[in-house]
Amino acid sequence: MKRFLQKCRISAAGILLLFFIALSASAQESLIKIGVSLGLTGKYSEMSDMQMKGFRLWESDVNKRGGLLGKKVRVIIYDDKSDPRTAKSLYEHLILNDKVDLVFGPYSSEITEAALPITEKHGYPLLASGASADRLWQKGYKYIFGVYSPASKYSVGFLELLVRNDLQNIAIVYADDAFSVDIANGTKKWAERFGLKVVLFEGFKKGTENLDFIALKAKASKAQALIVCGHFNESVSMRRSLKKINWQPKAYFASVGPAMPAFQTNLKSDANYVFSSSQWEYIGGSIIPGCKEFYHAYIHAYNETPSYHTATAYASGQILEAAIKNTGSIEREKLRAVLLSLDTITVIGRHGVDKKGKQIKHFNLIIQWQNEEKKIVWPEGLKTANPIFR
Amino acid sequence: MKEHLRRIINTLAFRILIPVFAIVFLLGFSVYIFVLRSVSGFADEHIKENIADMSGDIYRICDKSLNDLLMESASGDKKLVRLKKGFTIDEIESYMTANDLKGGIIENGKERLRIGDFTQEFLQKIEDTEEHTASTFKYAGEKYYAAHSHFEPWGWHIILLKDAGDYSGLLRRVNSSYAVTAVILLTSAFLFLYLLNIYIRKPVSAIIAPIRKGEKPEYKGIYEFEFLSGSIRDVMERDEQLKEQLFQAQKLEAIGTLAGGVAHDFNNMLQGILGYAAYLKMKVPADDPMYEPLSVIEHSAERAADLTKKLLGFARKGKYIIEPLNLNDIAENVTAITARTFDRKIKTEMTLAPDLWTIEGDRSQLEHVILNLCLNSRDAMPEGGILSIETFNTEITKETKPRRYMKEGKYAAIKVLDTGTGMDEETQKRIFEPFFTTRKWAKARAWDCQWHMGL
Report helix angle A178-193 to A109-121, nearest 10: 110
What pLDDT does residue B442 have? 39
B184 within 8 A of B176, measured Cβ to Cβ: no
Show me where the domains of chain B are located.
2-172, 241-314, 320-422
Number of residues in chain B: 455
- Asked if pLDDT for residue B448 goes beyond 60, the answer is no
Asked if residue A238 and residue A188 are part of one domain, the reply reads yes
| pLDDT tens track for A107-145 | 999 999 999 999 999 999 999 999 999 999 999 999 999
DSSP string across B398-417:
TTT-SSTTSPPEEEEEEEEE
CB contact under 8 A, A194 and B94: no
Same domain (yes/no): A223, A322? no
By the CB < 8 Å criterion, does B83 face chain A? Answer: yes
Banded pLDDT at B32 (limits 50, 70, 90): confident
Q: Is A360 on the interface with B (CB under 8 A)?
A: yes
Pair A244, A221: CB distance under 8 Å = no
A107: Cα within 13 Å, side-chain hemisphere:
31
Strand extents, DSSP E, A91-250: 102-104, 126-128, 144-146, 169-175, 197-204, 225-229
Q: How far apart are CA B171 and CA B151, in angstroms?
A: 35
CATH number attached to the domain at B320-422: 3.30.565.10
Of B85, B98, B112, nearest to A355 by CB-CB distance is B98
CATH number for the domain spanning A183: value is: 3.40.50.2300
Nearest-angstrom CA–CA distance, B223 and B218:
13
Task: Point out the least confidently predicted range of A382-386, B194-198, B430-434.
Answer: B430-434
| Per-residue confidence band for B81, with pLDDT thresholds at 50, 70 and 90 | very high
Please enumerate in sequence order all residues whose Cβ is within 8 A of that of A98, keeping only pairs 6 or more positions apart, or say none. Answer: A33, A35, A76
Together in a domain, A81 and A192: no
Partners of residue B89 in chain A, C-beta under 8 Å: 193
Of A195, A354, A360, the CB nearest to B82: A195
Mean per-residue pLDDT, B138-157 = 90
Nearest CB neighbour to A193, from listed B89, B97, B98: B89
Chain B positions touching A354 (Cβ under 8 A) are 94, 97-98
Instruction: Find residues 195-254 of chain B whose CB sits inside 8 Å of chain A.
Output: none
Interface test with B, best of A155, A194, A360 (most B CBs within 10 A): A194
**Which one of B90, B97, B98 has the shortest CB-CB distance to A193?**
B90
Q: What is the pLDDT of residue A22?
A: 47
Q: A139-193: per-residue pLDDT in tens?
A: 999 999 999 999 999 999 999 999 999 999 999 999 999 899 999 999 999 999 9
∠ Cα A70 A75 A80 (to 5°)? 165
Q: What integer pLDDT is reported at residue B61 of this predicted model?
A: 95
End-to-end CA distance of chain B: 60
Q: What is the pLDDT of residue B140?
A: 86
- pLDDT on residue B407: 83
Question: In this predicted model, which residue has the larger pLDDT, B322 or A350?
Answer: A350
Q: Which of B77, B84, B93, B97 is most worth mutating to test chain A (most A CB atoms within 10 A of its CB)?
A: B97
Give residue B250's pLDDT band: very low, low, confident or very high (50, 70, 90).
Answer: confident
The pLDDT mean for chain B works out to 83
Residue A16 pLDDT exceeds 60: no
Percent of chain B topping pLDDT 90: 20
Radius of gyration of chain B (CA): 56
pLDDT in tens, A206-228: 889 999 999 999 999 999 999 99
Residue A248 and residue A370 in one domain: yes
Confidence check: pLDDT of B273 > 80: yes
Mean pLDDT of the region A302-327: 95
Residue B388: helix, strand or coil by DSSP?
strand
Residues A140 and A161 in one domain: no
A255 domain-assigned: yes
B110 touches chain A (CB under 8 A): no
Instruction: For A138, name the nearest residue in chain B, comparing CA atoms only.
Output: B97
Q: Are residues A178 and A254 in the same domain?
A: yes
Q: What's the mean per-residue pLDDT of chain A?
A: 91
> In this predicted model, which residue has the larger pLDDT, B14 or A343?
A343
Which residue from B82, B89, B98 is facing A354, i.e. has the nearest CB? B98
Give start and end residues of each alpha helix (H) in B72-167.
78-98, 120-127
C-alpha distance from A359 to closest chain B C-alpha (Å): 12
Residue A112 within a domain: yes
Residues A253 and A370 in one domain: yes
d(CA A136, CA B94): 17
Q: Judge if A139 and A195 occupy the same domain.
A: no
Size of interface A-B (CB pairs under 8 A): 24
Which CA distances in Å does A227 have to A180, A234, A255, A375, B59?
A: 11, 11, 8, 18, 34
Question: Choosing among B81, B87, B115, which should be mutated to test the A contact, i.e. which has the most A CBs within 10 A?
Answer: B87
Candidates B81, B84, B89, B91, partner chain A, best to mutate (most A CBs within 10 A): B89
> Which of B80, B82, B154 has the highest number of chain A CBs within 10 A, making it the mutation to test binding with A?
B82
Residues of chain A with Cβ-Cβ distance to B97 below 8 Å are: 354
* Same structural domain, A68 and A85: yes
Phi, psi of A257 (to 5 degrees): 130, -60
Instruction: Grade residue A2 by pLDDT with cuts at 50, 70 and 90.
Output: low
A353: helix, strand or coil: strand
Arithmetic mean of pLDDT, B67-90: 90
> Touching check for B368 and chain A: CB below 8 Å?
no
Closest Cα in chain A, distance from residue B97 (Å): 9
Distance (Å, whole) CA A291 – CA A305: 13
Whether A319 is in a domain gets the answer yes
Is a pLDDT exceeding 60 seen at residue A370?
yes
Please indicate, yes or no, whether residues A373 and A242 belong to a single structural domain of this protein: yes
| Residue-level pLDDT at B177 | 77
Yes or no, beta carbons of A360 and B89 under 8 Å apart: no
For residue A330, tell me if it sits in a domain.
yes
Same domain (yes/no): A270, A294: no
- Name the DSSP class of B283: H
Chain A residue at shortest CA distance from B113: A193
Task: State how far the Cα of A193 lies from the Cα of A92, in Å rounded to an integer.
Answer: 43
The answer to whether A136 and A111 have CB atoms below 8 angstroms apart is no
Q: Residue B195 above 90 pLDDT?
A: no
Which residues in chain B are contacts of A166 at CB distance < 8 A?
79
Roughly how many angstroms between the first and final C-alpha of chain A, as a whole number? 94
Task: Give the least confident one: A27-36, A122-131, B23-32, B435-444.
Answer: B435-444
Share above pLDDT 70 across residues of chain A, in percent, rounded to a whole number: 92
Alpha helices in B116-222, H assignment, sequence order: 120-127, 168-196, 202-212
- Pick among 1.10.3470, 1.10.10, 1.10.287, 3.40.1360: CATH of B241-314: 1.10.287
Q: Is residue A21 part of a domain?
A: no
* Number of domains within chain A: 2
Q: What is the pLDDT of residues B277-298, one digit of tens each?
A: 888 888 888 888 888 888 889 8
Residues A250, A314, single domain; the answer is no
| Domain membership of residue A67 as a residue range | 32-149+287-351
Q: Which of A:138-177 have CB within 8 Å of B?
A: 160, 163-164, 166
Query: Is A268 contained in some domain?
Result: yes
The shortest CB-CB distance from A163 to any of B83, B94, B112 is to: B83
> Shortest Cα distance from A358 to chain B (angstroms)?
11
Average pLDDT for B308-319:
63
CB pair distance less than 8 Å for A164 and B79: yes
